[in-house]
Amino acid sequence: METRLKPRKKRLIIALTGATGAIYGIRMLQVLQTLDEWESHLIISSAGLVNLKFELNMRKSDIESLADQVHGINDIAAAVSSGSFKTEGMIIAPCSMKTLAAIAHGFGDNLITRAADVQLKERRKVVLMPRETPLNLAHVRNMVTATEMGAILYPPMPAFYNKSDSVMDMVNEAVGRILEMFGIEANLHQEWTGL
């Protein structure tokens, strides 16, 4: 008798840190929630929780309900802390300069930075959405180091040529383009076809 294995869902880690821009991570989780073939794994830093309350008036339970799996920031033994746990990669949206620095220097002091380190060592895709301006030299050097390690830096800069007329359109543009890097066609933005 032949047994067929049920195909495993594709896993994507979404992390939120204390930088401004929590809406990006929230929107990614909302999109992933609509896709049957994807499984989201959420990690939020302590400062990220403060930011969610301040920017979006969301409670911890509100955001946790958007994810398939939630991992505590200090749970270094969580599944996502091991390279044997297969994922498609990780998105840190938003990514604080503290988190960027820790990733760039291999300082896995919490589950976000440990999971990012694991994804990079396994040569999986890691997208960082750094939120800070202006940048000082340490920020720029950490961005270079993270890029040399294989991370993709995607500061959320709006594309004005699409004539977006709302903040949500600009959020969707960035979220859609980042999710496309993982093969997710969410139809959140218009493809540029030239003039």
Q: What is the pLDDT of residue 164?
A: 80
- Whole-structure pTM value: 0.95
**Please, are residues 68 and 36 in contact by the beta-carbon 8 Å criterion?**
no
Phi/psi zone of residue 125: left (φ > 0), alpha (ψ -120 to 50 degrees), beta? beta
Q: Looking at per-residue confidence, does 7 or 64 come out higher?
A: 64
Q: Do residues 93 and 24 make contact, with C-beta atoms less than 8 angstroms apart?
A: yes
Closest CA to 98 of 107, 88, 111, 85: 107
How many angstroms separate the Cα of 29 from the Cα of each of 22, 23, 33, 34, 63? 11, 10, 6, 9, 8
Percentage with pLDDT > 90 across the chain: 86
Nearest to 127 by CA among 181, 84, 168, 172: 181
pLDDT at 24 > cutoff 80: yes
pLDDT level of residue 1 (50, 70, 90 thresholds) = low
Architecture of domain 10-180: 3-Layer(aba) Sandwich (3.40)
Return the closest-CA partner of residue 89 out of 145, 7, 32, 132.
Answer: 32
d(CA 96, CA 104): 12
Residue 125's pLDDT is 98
Radius of gyration of the chain (CA): 17
Q: Which tens digits make up the pLDDT trace of 58-76?
A: 999 999 999 999 999 999 9
Q: 116-134 pLDDT, tens per residue?
A: 999 999 999 999 999 999 9
